[in-house]
Amino acid sequence: MTASTDAPEAQTSPQAPRERPVGIGVVGWLRWGWRQLTSMRTALVLLFLVGLGTVPGSFLPQRALAPEKVTQFFDDHKTLAPLMDRLSLFDVFAAPWFAAVYILLFISLAGCVLPRSWQHFQHIRSRPPKAPRNLDRLPQTASHETDATPEDVLAEAATVLKERRFRVDTYDDHIAAEKGYLRETGNLVFHLALLVLLFAVGSGAAFGYKGNVLVTEGEGFSNTLTSYDAFKGGRAFSSSKLPPFTVWVDSFKAGYLVDGPNRGQPISFAAKIRYQKDLKAPVRPYDLQVNHPLNVDGARVYLLGHGYAPRFTVRDGKGQVAYQGAVPFLPMNEATYASEGVIKVPDAQPDQLGFIGLFWPTAVPDAQGKVTSAFPAAWNPQVALFAFKGDLGLSNGAPQSVYKLETAKLKPLVMGNKTKPLAAGQTETLPGGAGSVTFDGYRQYVTLQVNRDPGRVPALAAAIVAILGIVTSFLVRRRRVWVRARATDDGRTVVEVGGLTLGGATPEFDAIAERLAKTAPQTPDEE
């Protein structure tokens, strides 16, 4: 039979184009990035980076704490210091890179811990899981037979487990018990407290402030921005929030070891101060010591260091007193407190005068006959002065350091015996009728730091809670116990007990199994 010629010709459908693979898209990439950021592995890496970032702040001078040491570091390392400054290594805790790592760590911990906390809360409210099919395959198993009914066995087992503070739930042929939720709870409390700690430290840095001020004996300062030698406020700090207190330093006393191999080592620093919370508050005395700060109106005043401020009287070429007072000298050697300082006399006539001075608290000659200091206490105070005259450069409005003398426009004055130091009460006449300078003695000064950190108490509380949480997670173990009772053909009941302890077996399971075997109710015939 032949095919009909009227049949339509076979049509060949064109092949459908292959679909190109489609990527996960922007939302998918964002979801992937969020999962990577909120993983515990990323949180640990960021925590390590935060710890690593604090290392430079530990051994490099920081502007917020010791600006003069930063200046000295620049003088000693003229090439390296600018490069390090570009990386904010002298302001580590205010550096953008440190803030970025800190914020990422906070977000990572929050995204990791908060969902886990909600899941843990839901798990606590859920029923204990059902028993596995074969209890004898568990790490801890026990079995025995009894004449009691399965219902009585399960009721007795529930009573025993509840006495041991298990959370018990009854199923058809078995009961399930679980406890040890404090292990995960302690772990979550630790991480939540760490979140609070990070937030408290960050908020304290944002709303707090820190300032350093040098105060000589007999003088004082008010808690205003203009009173500080160095001040750093947080990003959210406002100068209107400075409490209006005033502090006066009456005296300072330092104690040193006078003999033995540690001769000269300090043993006590104490400053007698007075403070007033505001203009209407009474003036109160206080003994300010190291690690015993003054708490006043939310701020803490710390004693950081001390030094010597030699007193001078400078007369100009006309015989007039052009300067009289104490000048703080910075220690060059903290073991002996040999110090260096600068005296600027812009009111001297006919030429301005400047002096670079060296102060030795206990001046003695060394092996080469040069003067040095043998002890940090002022047993034999002497000072050597190198005089200059000319233009101090103060009239052009450019800022100058009070601890540095610009000698570009100054002419050195060769004194009668420039290598001979002056003792207290001695006067040196300047050549050329430029005047004279008298060493009147010395006073001591203290370096104070005023610190207000509103996150300090919350951070301390969070640290304590974190320690308690991590200790709890180490001491508590998650435990599950199942008891199955089934009747046999001969009328007896087979009791199977299975246990699972996360982190290793404990003797608690053996005690439970032994008690269930001993307290199993007997039939009336056996009584």
Q: Which DSSP symbol is given to 1? A: -
Question: CA 215, CA 444: separation in Å to the nearest integer?
Answer: 9
- What the block records as the tokens of 212 is 């350093």
Range list of H helices, 213-333: none
When pLDDT is cut at 50, 70 and 90, the band that residue 21 belongs to is low
| Over residues 317-337, mean pLDDT | 91
Q: How far is CA 179 from its chain centroid?
A: 37
In this predicted structure, what is the pLDDT of residue 416?
45
- What the block records as the tokens of 136 is 């004898």
Domains and CATH numbers, the chain: 27-120 (no CATH), 127-180+477-518 (3.30.310.80), 209-452 (no CATH)
Interval 239-271: pLDDT, tens: 888 889 999 999 999 999 998 888 889 899 999
CB atoms within 10 A of CB 132: 13
Beta strand spans in 186-298 (E): 209-216, 220-222, 230-233, 246-256, 266-276, 284-289, 294-296
Residue 160 to residues 151, 163, 172, 290, 520, Cα–Cα distance (Å): 14, 5, 19, 58, 11
pLDDT for residue 419 is more than 90? no
Interval 123-137: pLDDT, tens: 888 888 898 988 988
When pLDDT is cut at 50, 70 and 90, the band that residue 72 belongs to is confident
Q: What is the mean pLDDT of the chain?
A: 86
pLDDT for residue 235 is more than 90? no
Interval 428-482: pLDDT, tens: 988 888 899 999 999 999 999 999 988 888 999 999 999 999 999 888 888 999 9
- What the block records as the tokens of 118 is 């909600």
In this predicted structure, what is the pLDDT of residue 204?
84
In this predicted structure, what is the pLDDT of residue 50?
87
- What the block records as the tokens of 316 is 């100009």
Half-sphere exposure of 418 (CA within 13 A, CB side): 13
When pLDDT is cut at 50, 70 and 90, the band that residue 27 belongs to is confident
Residue whose tokens read 């000295």:
72
Question: CA 466, CA 190: separation in Å to the nearest integer?
Answer: 4
In this predicted structure, what is the pLDDT of residue 43?
85
In this predicted structure, what is the pLDDT of residue 525?
45
Question: CA 499, CA 509: separation in Å to the nearest integer?
Answer: 7
pLDDT for residue 109 is more than 70? yes
SS3 content of the chain, % helix, strand, coil (to 5): 30, 35, 35
| Over residues 155-173, mean pLDDT | 90
pLDDT for residue 24 is more than 80? no
In this predicted structure, what is the pLDDT of residue 359?
95
Taking the chain, what is the end-to-end CA distance rounded to the nearest angstrom? 99
pLDDT for residue 418 is more than 60? no
Long-range residue pairs from 40-48, CB within 8 A, at least 24 positions apart, any chain:
40/112, 42/108, 43/105, 43/108, 43/109, 43/112, 46/101, 46/104, 46/105, 46/108, 47/105
Question: CA 186, CA 59: separation in Å to the nearest integer?
Answer: 35
Whether 348 contacts 435, CB under 8 Å: yes
